[in-house]
Structure 1
Amino acid sequence: MSLVSSYFPLPSIYEHYTNGGVYSGLDSSKPYFTLNGKNITIYSGAMHYFRVPRKYWRDRLRKMRATGLNTVETYVPWNLHEPQQGHYDFGDGDSDMQDFLNITEFLKTAQEEDLLAIVRPGPYICSEFEFGGFPSWLLRYVDIKFRTSEFNYMKFVARYFNILLPILAALQFSKGGPVIAFQVENEYGSTEKLGFFTPDKLYLRKLRKLFIDNGIVELLVTSDSPTAHGSIGTIPEVFLQTANFAANPEIEFLALKRLQPNRPVMAMEFWTGWFDHWGEIHHERDNQDFYNNFERILKYPASVNMYMFHGGSNFGFLNGANLANDRTDNSGYQPDISSYDYDAPLTESGDYTIKYVMVKQLISKYNPVLTRLPKTPSITYKDAYGPANIQRQLVMREIWDQVDFRFYSDVVLPMEYLPINNMSGQSYGYTVYRKKLLGNFYNKKSACNNKALLDIPSNSILTIAGRICDSAIILVDGVLLSKPLERTEDLNGFGFWKQNNSKLNLGSQGRYGATLEIIVENWGRNGFGYVDQFYQLKGLWQGEVFLNNLQISSWEIIPLEFKKSWIKNLSGWHTPKCFQVPGPALHKTNVYVDTPKDTFIDMRKWCKGIVIVNNFVLGRYSKIGPQQTLYLPAPFLEKGLNEVVIFEHYKPYNRVEFLDHPVYLTRSSRMRDIELM
């Protein structure tokens, strides 16, 4: 602190911009921003409250403010706030994600930590989040047209926004809150440039009217790449357009200036890193490249929001996906991993990186407005708890018996069409398609009544027509017959989305009266692409299932949602059978914790599945990587015994192990693996 500032302490952000009263919000009518009549350059970072444990919100926000940031930006996920039709959760709705969803508390905490806020409420957010933030129950309306002014879609948007926007309106800067701007829709211009569909300007106007009718008075913005998309995704006379990019800021800002002369320029998304799909290597952005581009933004000068500053995690089943093809050709499907580390300035677990230091240095160099900064918070200690042996187990038939709901259908159906959750369908988890006494089925379908045909003949062929959404595990009489997913190349084989009309030989053993079970996993819904891609259903729905070219009918369909209440009430746990027997099962142990600390569950010796801690689904794991560990935040643990349950699809391990750091497959680690082969 300088000698001057020691005699005259620096003001906070709010003291500087609200001294004398609040008369106006963020203004964009000049070539530079003003806030309440005073010049401001926005130094912002993205952090999503729904990807960070509530007890860590303040820690992460303070770390952001300590770099010199004056703003935090967040999306708002419709699918979490309206998980069932007409049922809302803003921190008190009793959904499994309830503790993440008090957006009022999050924004007030940001204000207490001396940060302004930019809110991007959608209704579409992309964000590599499940279904781009849309609730899956919208898929039950077959005529709905996502991201358009179509009546049915807008009816549900309006109903949701009429609940959400009044909450946000009370938190506006002009009303004494932290929110200085709202984004309308998200990267809407990319829909035409990438050949998806022509943006619907009437849709944008209807969204704007919803904002205004619900008391929103702050600046409304849109974001796209101005060099790639021009102004196709905005309405220039209504919204301030901002830019999304990773590099070449001068070119993007010049395009913005040409599109909207004499108005401020801002990067709404300056990408600090990138996200990962399963089967890839972990993305890492060169630190010097980040530094150079960030400095060029500040030197321009322009306002900026770093996407992401702190990525956090896709807890539960909430990772999104990309889809390179239309809604029926699922071959281009790319599911995202549970970690949303993003190679950001703050890691998934909130640790500092060299990018964090760079941000602090550069903002200090270029920010002309001096304000009081907090002391940089200390690092969060991580612990590697001792290994815990698997103590109890439930095999699949024991799991089925504890699912209350069963639906019977002549044909296979997607999970979204199941009549559960107040007629909202199944959103997440697994759907089981079960056919009992398959031998009886085969006999009825046979033209000959020879007793020899009562058995399923050896080398019978099971065919799933169309493509699987997204992966399938095949059991006959409880025995695993499909190949485990152990290498990325296995995704090209039976049981995964890349095959069309996939076939599986059921083996040389003939069977009579067998039970077939097809367990289909939703790996995450697509959140970016063609209009048609937003109709991507999950489960079996593109075609029927055949045994030796004879269609199987009369299915028992069982949803496996892994909700907290269901997991908590599971019973009948018993001593594990031989760990050498492959196949899906639940494996449980207890871990004693004296003082809860952040840790990472090491899944490198397991194959594929999900991890559940104290009845909460932590996330997915897969040997194919790049993610090899699951971040387990201390707030999810309790002093004393903590229950860890693993739903392994293929090959279990006999214990749970922990690390004090994350592990990803990177380019260098992949090369080492290749050299060892």
Structure 2
Amino acid sequence: MTSFSIEGRDFIINGKKTQIISGAIHYFRVVPEYWRDRLLKLKACGFNTVETYIAWNIHEPKRGQFNFTGIADIVRFIEIAGELDLHVIIRPSPYICAEWDFGGLPSWLLAEDGMKLRCYYQPYLDRVDAYYDVLMPLLVPHLHTNGGPIIAMQVENEYGSYGNDKAYLAYIREGMIKRGINVLLFTSDGPEDHMLQGGMLPCTLPTANFGSKPEEAFAKLSEYEPDRPLMCMEYWNGWFDHWGEEHHVRGFDDVADVLDRILKSGASVNFYMFQGGTNFGFYNGANYFTSYEPTVTSYDYNALLSESGDITDKYLAIRSVISKYADIPEGIMPPSIPKKSYGTVPMTGQARLFGQLEALSKPVKRAYTETMEKLGQDYGFVLYTTHVSGPRPLSKVTVQEVRDRALVYFNGHYEGVIERNKHELTLAIGEGDIALETPLEGASLSLLVENMGRINYGWKMQDPKGITEGVRIERQFLYDWTMHPLPLDDLSGIVYSPLETGAGLQEEPTFYSGSFHVDQPEDTFLNMTGWTKGVVFVNGFNLGRYWEIGPQVTLYVPAPLLRTGDNEIIIFELHGAKNLQVTLQDHPDLG
């Protein structure tokens, strides 16, 4: 049984003064078959602790329906860490940020009129209570006070960057305690006055999040907590990418130097991230500061382990620094996970979206457009269709407002894209401000709206998806809508036809299918060069999004997703492809 206490500035573990050297691995970003591999590599680098968030939205995807299996099996992740004699820090805050969709909050919260997030609003607190009633009993047996590896848990996450409702923070804290959580409780905030003032709580250890200047950060933290241990709860040793940016890289020499200064000071540290992993499916988040910026599928983070778990130069440099302050275990490093190039995979079948609606969706009719959440949908796409009366002269179509990107079809013809950052866009055909001209008999207007990831940080987190208010032609709102929710969580009913000549030059979004043979499943990377924008499924598993604007070019395919024999690839392409084939290669390309 682990003993854990605080004496002045020191953590005392099993009777010994201990610097916590922790690394973040998010169980929900790594396939379960690889959890032990990643945790062993953490320990082999000299770390004594693993930290993870708990993402509410993967555990309660529908209100009252809970999931703790597969990639959501947080208990098994904790058990493996305990088997390897690692301590565990858990961050089960209702909100986690993490560049994860909606900061981990479940999307169904946005279906409730008037919902207020992260404050003392009773309907929100009721939803948290119902979740914690299920989650906390799963964690209690694994607390160090009950013989388990969990030494500390977080109350809320960077709350001072969002608000200052101390009654709310106290409610969350007390809710943990009354459900049996009796380990060290902490908060984490940026080392700035307003952040610490907004996020701290009495009888709760404050910690700081930063990527550089540790002396300044700890000096500020010490102004507010002069007598207890100093800890950097998020040492940002890399960074994440948005679509359309360059891939972020931070040199290992700089990362190692800052770590050395942290450890030399006697403070403890948690690397954010030790391994980043992958935003599989539609779980990527987004930021909004001056414009909407969705995060890419890869969460490589330029961390110590690559997205696929490979040792990096940064890992070796950090292990060298840690060896100055702690013993490095010998002989426990697992072998490298093999990678394989399976070659080129041609697409052999196609199915146009509009012909597959009956197999994919049940239509909903309303006078007005509904958001995705109001339709009971969490992720994916919604197709909105109405009839426009005619005749009308050339007219401007406006979505008020689009969340996040709409493909527009008029009488079945593709007319263009309306994007969130340009939601007043006039649909242009050729040059100038030419818009839509409606014939005497009228025309159908369809908008396929993509949810590209809910905002996970800051003041714009109230981020429902789809069409939030309505669609106008000039100043007139259009009514009488048919909506097809398209979560793309079951593609089994799609009927494919052989590829047509010139099939890549598509008139509407299209599903393409192909297959490849595997003798021995090994990790591989799906190169999407030549494709425009869409989503890829391998053996029914949603790998995530691709987009030609980069920086990400390849999608990571872990070996456990493959099977011996034939394997199926389905690509949902929104615009068209130059060559209807993909390449499975043995290395990533993140731009």
Look up the SS of the partner of 1:402 in the other structure: helix
1:467 Cα deviation from its structure 2 partner: 3.0
2:229/2:267 contact within 8 Å kept: yes
1:571 Cα deviation from its structure 2 partner: 2.5
Paired AA for residue 593 in structure 1: V
Distance 1:385 1:620 in 2: 21
Deviations 1:97-125 (A, max 9, x none): xx201111010011112211000001100
Judged with a 3 Å threshold, the aligned counterparts in structure 2 of structure 1 residues 590 and 465 are, in CA distance, closer, same or farther, namely closer
Distance 2:212 2:436 in 1: 57
The reply on whether 1:562 has 2:507 as its aligned counterpart is: no
Look up the SS of the partner of 2:485 in the other structure: strand
Q: Which residue is 2:421 aligned to?
A: 498
1:389 Cα deviation from its structure 2 partner: 1.0
Q: Which residue is 1:402 aligned to?
A: 359
2:361/2:485 contact within 8 Å kept: no
Q: Which residue is 1:102 aligned to?
A: 73
Aligned with residue 461 of structure 2, among 516, 534, 550: 534
Judged with a 3 Å threshold, the aligned counterparts in structure 2 of structure 1 residues 371 and 572 are, in CA distance, closer, same or farther, namely closer
Q: Which residue is 1:328 aligned to?
A: none
Look up the SS of the partner of 1:231 in the other structure: helix
1:371 Cα deviation from its structure 2 partner: 7.2
2:208/2:232 contact within 8 Å kept: yes
The reply on whether 1:354 has 2:316 as its aligned counterpart is: no
Identity %: 40
Aligned with residue 626 of structure 1, among 551, 569, 588: 551
Paired AA for residue 112 in structure 2: Y
Distance 1:60 1:272 in 2: 17
Q: Which residue is 1:588 aligned to?
A: 513
Judged with a 3 Å threshold, the aligned counterparts in structure 2 of structure 1 residues 235 and 499 are, in CA distance, closer, same or farther, namely closer
1:479-490 matches, cutoff 5 A = 479-482=413-416
1:509 Cα deviation from its structure 2 partner: 8.2
2:395/2:437 contact within 8 Å kept: no
The reply on whether 1:35 has 2:13 as its aligned counterpart is: yes
Distance 2:574 2:365 in 1: 25
Aligned with residue 369 of structure 2, among 412, 424, 428: 412
Deviations 1:134-157 (A, max 9, x none): 001001122221111111111111
Distance 2:438 2:126 in 1: 54
Aligned with residue 200 of structure 1, among 165, 168, 171: 165
Deviations 1:562-592 (A, max 9, x none): 11xx212323444345234233100000111
Q: Which residue is 1:450 aligned to?
A: none
1:365 Cα deviation from its structure 2 partner: 1.0
The reply on whether 1:474 has 2:408 as its aligned counterpart is: yes
Distance 2:436 2:68 in 1: 55
Distance 1:517 1:231 in 2: 48
1:49/1:101 contact within 8 Å kept: yes
Aligned with residue 495 of structure 2, among 549, 571, 585: 571
Q: Which has the higher strand share?
A: 2
- Root-mean-square deviation (Å): 1.8
1:556 Cα deviation from its structure 2 partner: 0.7
Distance 1:230 1:432 in 2: 41
Q: Which residue is 1:675 aligned to?
A: none
Look up the SS of the partner of 1:184 in the other structure: strand
1:505 Cα deviation from its structure 2 partner: 4.2
The structure that has the greater radius of gyration is 1
1:318 Cα deviation from its structure 2 partner: 0.2
Deviations 1:138-183 (A, max 9, x none): 0112222111111111111111111111111111112111100001
Distance 2:127 2:277 in 1: 29
Q: Which residue is 1:490 aligned to?
A: none
1:426-437 matches, cutoff 5 A = 426-435=377-386
Judged with a 3 Å threshold, the aligned counterparts in structure 2 of structure 1 residues 606 and 66 are, in CA distance, closer, same or farther, namely same
Q: Which has the higher helix share?
A: 1
Q: Which residue is 2:432 aligned to?
A: none
Aligned with residue 299 of structure 1, among 264, 275, 296: 264
Q: How many residues align structurally?
A: 583
1:525 Cα deviation from its structure 2 partner: 0.1
Q: Which residue is 1:221 aligned to?
A: 186
1:434 Cα deviation from its structure 2 partner: 1.3
1:366 Cα deviation from its structure 2 partner: 1.2
2:427/2:436 contact within 8 Å kept: no
Q: Which residue is 1:163 aligned to?
A: 134
Paired AA for residue 567 in structure 1: L
1:255-404 matches, cutoff 5 A = 255-324=220-289, 332-367=291-326, 370=327, 372-404=329-361
Deviations 1:62-85 (A, max 9, x none): 011101100000000001100001
Look up the SS of the partner of 1:293 in the other structure: helix
Q: Which residue is 2:536 aligned to?
A: 611
Task: Provide the TM-score with structure 2 as the length reference.
Answer: 0.95
Distance 2:200 2:499 in 1: 64
1:133 Cα deviation from its structure 2 partner: 0.2
1:536 Cα deviation from its structure 2 partner: 1.2
1:550 Cα deviation from its structure 2 partner: 4.3
The reply on whether 1:112 has 2:79 as its aligned counterpart is: no
The reply on whether 1:243 has 2:208 as its aligned counterpart is: yes
1:664 Cα deviation from its structure 2 partner: 2.3
Distance 1:536 1:270 in 2: 28
1:390/1:654 contact within 8 Å kept: yes
Distance 1:173 1:85 in 2: 31
1:372 Cα deviation from its structure 2 partner: 4.5
Q: Which residue is 2:398 aligned to?
A: 464
Distance 2:590 2:414 in 1: 29
Distance 1:396 1:478 in 2: 12
Distance 2:420 2:436 in 1: 26
Look up the SS of the partner of 1:110 in the other structure: helix
Q: Which residue is 2:451 aligned to?
A: 522
Q: Which residue is 2:110 aligned to?
A: 139
1:30 Cα deviation from its structure 2 partner: 1.4
The reply on whether 1:48 has 2:26 as its aligned counterpart is: yes
Judged with a 3 Å threshold, the aligned counterparts in structure 2 of structure 1 residues 62 and 654 are, in CA distance, closer, same or farther, namely same
Distance 1:358 1:399 in 2: 52
Look up the SS of the partner of 2:10 in the other structure: coil
